[in-house]
Structure formats: C-alpha cells, structure tokens
Chains A and B, each alone.
Chain A
C-alpha cells in the first residue's frame, strides 16, 4: 500500500510518500496507525477539511482498503 501526503500534512510528517508492507484493512485503521506513530501528523490529519483519496478518487467516511491501494491525504485545496 502506498500512502501520500500533500501540503501541510507533508510538512507535519516530514515525508511525502511511504510504502506500507503490512497494510491496514480500512482507512480508519490506516489513519489510526499513522497517528499513533506521529503526534504532529495526528494533529494535522484531524484538522477540518482534510480529505482522503483512494486510488485517486475522493472517499467519504471509512472505506475498506485493498493491500495495493494508493491512499492520499489531502488538506484543504488552495487553488492555483
């Protein structure tokens, strides 16, 4: 599973892309595991307006994740 962070989330975590070898089964579980390891990232993920995309499509609420999913966390978009 590939995890991508954008904008302020990337700054908070200090990384942009990570491959997870034992991937969680749901978006909520993935978020929990990312948050557990990193307090700054946890706080940034909890800010209002942060969305998630699975395989480049926005999802709402919790969804199950395939082991080869690409999951991106997207802070509020600024426009160009």
Chain B
C-alpha cells in the first residue's frame, strides 16, 4: 500500500510496469491515469496544493479501507502537486487483486474519492486570472455511490 504526493512528473507506464513486477498471487491489476484537461483554451495551468503529512495520511486511510472492503493485495496512488499543464498526468491509481471485479471497483471508488473529497486545493490559472476550484456536483454524486453500497464479490 503506497500513497505518494510529488511535484515531479511521473510516467504512468513505468509505474504500472513496476507495480506488476514479481507478483504471483495477483490475477488482476487495474490502473487509472488522470490527465489535466483544458476544456477550452482559457485554462493555462493548474496549481494543486496539498498538506503534506495530512493529505497523504487521509488518502492512505481511504486506500486501507478500500483494500479491506475489496480484499486487495496491493494499492498504489501517486498524485502530483504544484503547477501542472494541460496534458500532464496528475494522478495514477493501481489496484491489485486476485480477480478483476475487485480491482476494477476499488480503482473506480478510489478515483471518485480522490476527485471529490481528498484534501487538495486546486487553482485554475486562466487567461482572465486565477481562481480556486470547488468540486463539481457530479464528483460528489460519484463519491456518494459508494457510501452505502455493499462490497462486491471478488
């Protein structure tokens, strides 16, 4: 179980290859990579702020709970902080489980959490100036899908 916040760029393929290395009990690895999206040409950059020691601890708590719920064998979460440009990989999540269903669902749930509730503060730097971003209501709804749902069979 690894949670890493870093200002340096990462290569999703390298992370995935390393995560898959030397596994014998894992039948399924699911990975997700999120890129910084510019909906139009006005977004020049994103500035992502975390509280080191708190943000990673909170994400780790959620990752532990997901691991327990889905019976995961391993989880890797890498999140960029600092200034990011459109197209940059910003988040990487990989889940390893004996069977695919658990790995898919856990990755989906972790991403919903990361997008809506994880302790980050996000500023969008636009042509017209910079503004702080609040989570979209869809992100909240996505996260709520998991609140009362029973754990799935692996």
Residues of A within 8 A of B (CB): 4, 6-8, 10-11, 53, 56, 72, 74-80
Contact = CB atoms under 8 A, between A and B. Distances in A.
B91 A53 contact: no
A8 B53 contact: no
B51 A80 contact: no
Contacts of A74: 51, 119
A7 B57 contact: no
Interface of B: 34, 48-49, 51, 53-54, 57, 79, 90-91, 114-123, 132-135, 139
Contacts of B122: 78-80
A3 to B, nearest CB: 13
A56 B120 contact: no
B135 A79 contact: yes
A79 B54 contact: no
A78 B114 contact: no
Contacts of A78: 120-122, 132-135
B51 A72 contact: yes
A74 to B, nearest CB: 7
B53 A75 contact: no
Nearest to B53: A56
A38 B118 CA distance: 29
A47 B121 CA distance: 15
A33 B57 CA distance: 29
A79 B116 contact: yes
15 contacts: A6-B51, A6-B121, A8-B121, A8-B132, A53-B51, A56-B51, A56-B57, A72-B51, A74-B51, A77-B118, A77-B120, A77-B135, A79-B118, A79-B120, A80-B90
Max chain B CB contacts within 10 Å: which of A6, A10, A77?
A77
Nearest to B133: A78
